[in-house]
Amino acid sequence: MNKKALSPVFIYDDEEIHYKFNESHPFNQDRLVMTVDLLRKAGALSDSAIRTPRPATDSELLRVHTAAYIEAVKALSCSVPEDRWVKEASRFGLDTDDTPFFPGMHDITAKIVGGSITAAELVMSGEAPHALHLGGGLHHALQSKGAGFCVYNDASAAIAHAKETYGAKVLYVDTDVHHGDGVQWSFYADPQVCTLSIHETGKYLFPGTGAVNERGEGDAFGTSINIPVEPYTEDESWLECFGEVLTETIARFRPDVIISQHGCDAHAFDPLAHVHCSMRVYKAMPELIHNLAHQWCEGRWVALGGGGYDIWRVVPRAWSLLWLVMSEQTVLSQLAAQPQLALPRAWLNAWQSKSPVQLVDTWLDPVDAWAPIPRREIITEKNRQTKDLSMMYLK
């Protein structure tokens, strides 16, 4: 194989914005369009890096979901579903305000799952060192139930593909502010898959799980790792917990591949949670994962999207930084030399008039201008205790 041809791939299709529950729902895939536009205007995404997803097959979905659930999703995807299926929707978690059924739901979600499986396939086959699929990261979907804006669990399907097709040991890393429950439960008794999730404590936030004592069961005890941090946690403490636990976990577990979920709703501006991080963590976390993938996994790294509900000020910058890190763009060295580096003017001009809020015009946030959080020391100390507890039984 020609080594020089190996470069990271960006899995994307404009169609992915049709994963949409309704006009007023907070899960809004216009953020994908804004991210791609930011990367293009920064000169950091070429057409040759882009691959389009293909739909997942039923047998790929069956690795993660029950046949009854897939049948219900398909039936509820008609423009006017039959009454008997509408009556069944609540049994499958598809009648809630969070995750209501919508026309075309099966086809578009199967495509998102296929995108994440394609990412895993390209990396595991050695065609690409890293792959990014920002349309994916639907980590709350359960075996027989939709939940938390997620219909099918593409992260679990990508892990199952790497495991079943390549016999890979997989480390799943979830940086979304909500616990990566669906993925954790998919592999809770599976010692070949280790799941690590950092999130705001479930005491106050959906889905309520992700306590330190959820450690896996049977042979898999010690391969489910949770770091539930306090509300109002800031960059320093978030990164201290994440860095120490991830570095120690990977050194012990020795995975063949990292599959990571990059929800960026731990940002201070995010309307759905209470963690107070800045854009700095969305550069630092991918940098650490990237380094560890090269150190322990011969570079194999698959990254997915996830939550992120400030689609104007947060998601495009956070997800662009992820790709900049993954594909080692020159913008990063400019940013290292100049922390207040501005975003491309053409991007700001294109989106400011559409945005209901003033856009941030730099890659990183001007955190020095932010009001300090009270109780910082107490929060940091509590998070340290949680971090130590989370590492007690690592495999």
Min separation Cβ 326 and Zn ion, Å: 7
Task: Considering the complex, state which of residue 223 and residue 261 has its C-beta at the smaller distance from Zn ion.
Answer: 261
Query: Which of 76/331 has CB closer to Zn ion?
Result: 331
Phi-psi region of 271 (alpha: psi -120 to 50; beta: other; left: phi over 0): alpha
To the nearest whole angstrom, how small is the minimum distance from the Cβ of residue 307 to Zn ion? 3
Q: What are phi and psi of 374, to 5 degrees?
A: -65, 160
Residue 15 CB neighbour total at 10 angstroms: 15
Give the closest residue to 177 by CA, choosing from 155, 145, 210: 210
Q: Which residue has the tokens 């080692």?
A: 328
**Closer Cβ to Zn ion, 81 or 308, answer by number:** 308
Which lies closer to Zn ion via its Cβ, residue 77 or residue 278? Answer: 278
Helix or strand or coil: residue 21?
coil
**How far is it, in rounded angstroms, from Cα 228 to Cα 140?**
16
**What whole-number distance in Å separates Cα of residue 121 and Cα of residue 179?**
26
Per-residue DSSP letter, 244:
H
Task: Identify the burial level of 305 via C-beta atoms within 10 angstroms of its C-beta, where 0-12 means exposed, 13-18 middle and 19 or more buried.
Answer: buried
Taking CB atoms, the residue at the shortest distance from Zn ion is 307
Strand runs (DSSP E) across the chain, as ranges? Answer: 9-11, 50-51, 130-133, 170-174, 193-200, 224-229, 257-261, 301-304
**70/293 with CB nearer Zn ion:** 293
Residues that bind Zn ion (CB under 5 A): 176, 178, 263, 265, 307
Least separation in angstroms between CB 25 and Zn ion: 14
Give the nearer residue to Zn ion in terms of CB position, either 202 or 307: 307
Among candidates 280, 282, 244, 286, which has minimal Cα distance to 130?
286
Minimum Å gap between C-beta 42 and Zn ion is 19
Instruction: Give least dist CB 204 to Zn ion, A.
Output: 14
Cross-strand partners of 197: 174, 226
CB of 364 to Zn ion, least distance (A): 22
Q: Which is nearer to Zn ion, 77 or 116 (CB)?
A: 116
Structure-derived torsion over alpha carbons of residues 32, 38, 39, 43, reported in degrees to the nearest 10: 160
Q: How far is the CB of 375 from Zn ion (least distance, A)?
A: 24
Sheet holding 50-51, edge to edge: 50-51, 9-11, 130-133, 301-304, 257-261, 170-174, 193-200, 224-229
Token pair of 283 as six digits: 């550069």
Of residues 53 and 263, the one with the C-beta less far from Zn ion: 263
For residue 355, the 8-state DSSP code is -
Give the CA diameter of the chain: 62
Q: How far is the CB of 264 from Zn ion (least distance, A)?
A: 9
Q: Which is nearer to Zn ion, 111 or 262 (CB)?
A: 262
Q: CA-to-CA distance for 116 and 124, rounded, in angstroms?
A: 12
Residue 115 CB, shortest distance to Zn ion, in Å, is: 19
Cis geometry, peptide bond prior to residue 55 (ω within 30 degrees of 0): no
